[in-house]
Amino acid sequence: MPLIRRVRGLFLALAVVAIAMTGAPDAKAVGTGGFWSCVPYARQVSDIRLSGDAWRWWTAAAGVYARGQAPREGAVLVFKQTSKLRQGHVAVVRKVLNSRYILVDHANWDRGRRKGRVDQAVGIRDVSPNNDWSAVRVWYTPVGNFGTTRYPTHGFIYSKTTSAPAVRRISAGARVIPVSVPKPAHLGMPSP
């Protein structure tokens, strides 16, 4: 029994030190129980400072941030409002793999027990007929593929900095789901 208490005490002390060293996320960004929604998460890890429902970000960015149809690291991809995405969705581009595939970090994509969690390095495939990122499919780790749902998007909001900012990672206080980054073969791409 005393050994268990010591181990618990040591674990708690290490957790406090780790949080102090990494810095806690913005209190407004984390909902009850440590759950994240996509908007505060995207605002926290990118240089885009907008608020409101995710689908409204596209209009809110007009005249404030550059917008476009090509992915860039650090940009925010804005999903349109649909029956499945009643508030839209936003995701921060982590890496551009090629003209049709990107990896993003985003929050609150899942349902059920995974709702409100942060997913990092999630594959997104452009399935628009004109390669303009107006429709995408999102890698869904629980089923191990992109699925068949096509999500309409507005496009990308770009950071005001001249070069793409390094996307900040949030881990303290967030429920981060380690995801297996899809290999090129999983994305339907030839291996390098």
Examine residue 170 and state whether it is found in any structural domain, yes or no.
yes
Domain membership flag for residue 117: yes
Does residue 163 lie within any of the structural domains? yes
Over its C-alpha atoms, the chain yields an Rg (Å, rounded) of 18
Kindly state whether residue 14 falls inside one of the protein's structural domains: no
Inside any domain, residue 59: yes
Q: Is the pLDDT of residue 5 over 80?
A: no
153 in a structural domain: yes
CATH code, domain with 161? 3.90.1720.10
d(CA 118, CA 98): 24
Least confident of 14-18, 83-87, 107-111, 167-171: 14-18
CA distances to 43, 72, 143, 192 from 29, in Å: 9, 24, 28, 38
pLDDT reading at 12 higher than 90: no
Range of the domain at 166: 26-177
Q: pLDDT (tens digit, 9 = 90+) per residue, 87-115?
A: 999 999 999 999 999 999 999 987 667 77
pLDDT for the residue numbered 142 = 78
The rounded percent of the chain whose pLDDT value lies above 90 is: 54
Tens digit of pLDDT for each residue in 49-89? Answer: 999 999 999 999 999 999 999 999 999 999 999 999 999 99
Domains contained in the chain, number: 1
Residue 184 lies in a domain: no
Distance CA(114)–CA(41), nearest Å, equals 16
pLDDT score at 168: 52
Tell me whether residue 7 is in a domain: no
